Structure 1
Amino acid sequence: MTPKTTLPAALLGRLDTAVDWVSQGLAAALVVIEIVILFVGVVFRYGLDKPLIWSNELAEILFLWLVSLGAVIALRRSEHMRMTVLVAKLSPSRQRFLARLAGLIVAVFTLELIIPGLDYMAAQQAITTPTLHIPGSWEVAGQILALLMLFYVALRQLFAGITWPELLITLGIGIAIGVGLWASENLLYDIGNGDLIVFFVVIVGICIFAGVPIAFSFGIATIGYIYFTTSIPLSIVISQMDQGMASIELLAVPMFVVLGLLLEMTGIARALVNLLTALVGNRRGGLSYVLIGAIYLIAGISGSKAADQAAVAPVLLPEMKRRGIPPGELVAQLASAAAMSETIPPSLVLIIVGAVTGVSTAALFTGGLLPAAVAALGLIVLIFFRTRGETPSGTSVAPREALRLFIIAIPALILPFLIRYAVLAGIATATEVATIGVIYAVFVGITIYRSFDLKRLFPLLVETAALSGAILLIIGAASAMAWALTQAGFAQALTAAMTGIPGGKYGFMAVSILLFIVLGSVLEGLPAMVLFGPLLFPIAQQVGINVVQYAIVSILAMGIGLFSPPFGVGFYQTCLISKTSSDEAVTRIWPYMATLVVTLIIIAAVPWISTGFL
Structure 2
Amino acid sequence: MLIGLFVALLLLILFGIPVLLAIGTVALSGILIVPELVPAMFPQKMFTMLDSFSLLAMPYFILAGELMAKGGISKKLVEFAETVVGHLRGGLGMAAVVASMIFAGVSGSATADTSAIGSILIPSMKERGYKPGFAASLLATAGTIGPIIPPSMTMIVYGSMAGVSIGGLFLGGIIPGILIGVGLMLTIYLHSFFPQFPELRQTSGKFNLKKVLKASSRVWLALIAPLIILGGILGGIFTATEAGVVACFYSFIVTFFIYRSVSWKALPKILVDAAVTTTMVVGIISVAGAFGWLLAYLDFNEVVLDLLKSISNTPMVVLLVLLATMLVLTMFVESLAILVILIPVAVFVSKNFGFDQYHFGLLMVMATQIGATTPPVAVLLFVATSIADTTYDQTIKYCLPFIATLIIVMLLVAFIPGLAAWIPNHFLGP
Alignment TM-score, normalising by the size of structure 2 = 0.93
Q: Residue 560 in 1 paired to residue 370 in 2?
A: yes
Contact 1:495–1:536, Cα closer than 8 Å, also in 2: no
Aligned residues: 419
Q: Residue 351 in 1 paired to residue 161 in 2?
A: no
- Paired amino acid for 2:319: M
Which of 535, 553, 570 aligns to 2:380? It is 570
Contact 2:71–2:262, Cα closer than 8 Å, also in 1: yes
Contact 2:323–2:364, Cα closer than 8 Å, also in 1: yes
Contact 1:301–1:419, Cα closer than 8 Å, also in 2: no
**1:270, 1:337 → 2: CA distance?**
16
Q: Could you say which structure has the greater relative contact order, defined with CA pairs below 8 angstroms and 6 or more residues apart?
A: 2
1:453 Cα deviation from its structure 2 partner: 2.7
Residue number in structure 2 paired with 1:599: 409
- Paired amino acid for 1:296: M
1:18-61 Cα offsets, whole Å, 9 max, x none, are xxxxxxxxxxxxxxxxxxxxxxxxxxxxxxxxxxxxxxxxxxxx
What aligned pairs does 1:420-499 form with structure 2 within 5 A after superposition?
A: 420-499=230-309
Contact 1:269–1:412, Cα closer than 8 Å, also in 2: no
1:530 Cα deviation from its structure 2 partner: 1.3
1:395 Cα deviation from its structure 2 partner: 4.7
**2:150, 2:236 → 1: CA distance?**
16
**1:374, 1:386 → 2: CA distance?**
18
1:351 Cα deviation from its structure 2 partner: 0.8
**2:118, 2:377 → 1: CA distance?**
22
Residue number in structure 2 paired with 1:216: 21
1:378 Cα deviation from its structure 2 partner: 1.5
Change in 2 beyond 3 A, CA 1:439/1:373: same
1:216 Cα deviation from its structure 2 partner: 1.7
- Paired amino acid for 1:598: I
**2:257, 2:409 → 1: CA distance?**
42
Contact 2:10–2:333, Cα closer than 8 Å, also in 1: no
1:503 Cα deviation from its structure 2 partner: 5.2
Q: Residue 205 in 1 paired to residue 15 in 2?
A: no
Residue number in structure 1 paired with 2:192: 387
Residue number in structure 1 paired with 2:31: 226
Change in 2 beyond 3 A, CA 1:529/1:337: same
Contact 1:266–1:451, Cα closer than 8 Å, also in 2: yes
Three-state SS of the structure 2 residue aligned to 1:333 is helix
Which of 297, 300, 304 aligns to 2:105? It is 300
**2:251, 2:161 → 1: CA distance?**
29
**Which residues of structure 1 form unaligned runs of 5+?**
1-194
- Paired amino acid for 1:445: T
Three-state SS of the structure 2 residue aligned to 1:242 is helix
Residue number in structure 1 paired with 2:122: 317
1:102-139 Cα offsets, whole Å, 9 max, x none, are xxxxxxxxxxxxxxxxxxxxxxxxxxxxxxxxxxxxxx
Bigger shift: 297-306 or 427-436?
A: 427-436
Three-state SS of the structure 2 residue aligned to 1:364 is helix
- Paired amino acid for 1:548: Y
Contact 2:82–2:92, Cα closer than 8 Å, also in 1: yes
Residue number in structure 1 paired with 2:224: 414
Contact 2:285–2:337, Cα closer than 8 Å, also in 1: yes
**2:384, 2:328 → 1: CA distance?**
19
**1:410, 1:231 → 2: CA distance?**
59
Q: Residue 275 in 1 paired to residue 83 in 2?
A: no
1:423 Cα deviation from its structure 2 partner: 1.9
Contact 2:327–2:368, Cα closer than 8 Å, also in 1: yes
Point out the structure with max Rg over C-alpha. Answer: 1
- Paired amino acid for 1:497: L
Contact 2:323–2:363, Cα closer than 8 Å, also in 1: yes
**Which residues of structure 2 form unaligned runs of 5+?**
426-430
Contact 2:296–2:344, Cα closer than 8 Å, also in 1: no
**1:535, 1:398 → 2: CA distance?**
52
1:132-174 Cα offsets, whole Å, 9 max, x none, are xxxxxxxxxxxxxxxxxxxxxxxxxxxxxxxxxxxxxxxxxxx
Contact 2:23–2:287, Cα closer than 8 Å, also in 1: yes
**1:401, 1:341 → 2: CA distance?**
26
Three-state SS of the structure 1 residue aligned to 2:173 is helix
- Paired amino acid for 2:140: A
1:579-599 Cα offsets, whole Å, 9 max, x none, are 332121111000111121112
1:607 Cα deviation from its structure 2 partner: 0.9
1:157-204 Cα offsets, whole Å, 9 max, x none, are xxxxxxxxxxxxxxxxxxxxxxxxxxxxxxxxxxxxxx2322x12321
Q: Residue 547 in 1 paired to residue 391 in 2?
A: no
**1:345, 1:400 → 2: CA distance?**
29
Contact 1:278–1:396, Cα closer than 8 Å, also in 2: no
1:287-333 Cα offsets, whole Å, 9 max, x none, are 11111111111111112212112221232222212211111111111
Three-state SS of the structure 2 residue aligned to 1:610 is helix
**1:515, 1:400 → 2: CA distance?**
49
1:403 Cα deviation from its structure 2 partner: 2.4
Residue number in structure 2 paired with 1:196: 2
1:401 Cα deviation from its structure 2 partner: 3.6
Q: Residue 244 in 1 paired to residue 244 in 2?
A: no
What aligned pairs does 1:110-189 form with structure 2 within 5 A after superposition?
A: none
Contact 1:343–1:369, Cα closer than 8 Å, also in 2: yes
1:426 Cα deviation from its structure 2 partner: 2.0
Residue number in structure 2 paired with 1:263: 68
1:247 Cα deviation from its structure 2 partner: 1.0
Q: Residue 519 in 1 paired to residue 332 in 2?
A: no
**1:514, 1:266 → 2: CA distance?**
39
Percent identity of paired positions between Structure 1 and Structure 2: 28
- Paired amino acid for 1:197: I
Residue number in structure 2 paired with 1:536: 346
Three-state SS of the structure 2 residue aligned to 1:233 is coil
- Paired amino acid for 1:350: M
**RMSD, matched Cα:** 1.8
Three-state SS of the structure 2 residue aligned to 1:272 is helix
Change in 2 beyond 3 A, CA 1:384/1:520: same
Three-state SS of the structure 1 residue aligned to 2:330 is helix
Contact 2:45–2:293, Cα closer than 8 Å, also in 1: yes
Residue number in structure 1 paired with 2:315: 505
- Paired amino acid for 2:164: V
Alignment TM-score, normalising by the size of structure 1 = 0.66
- Paired amino acid for 2:221: P
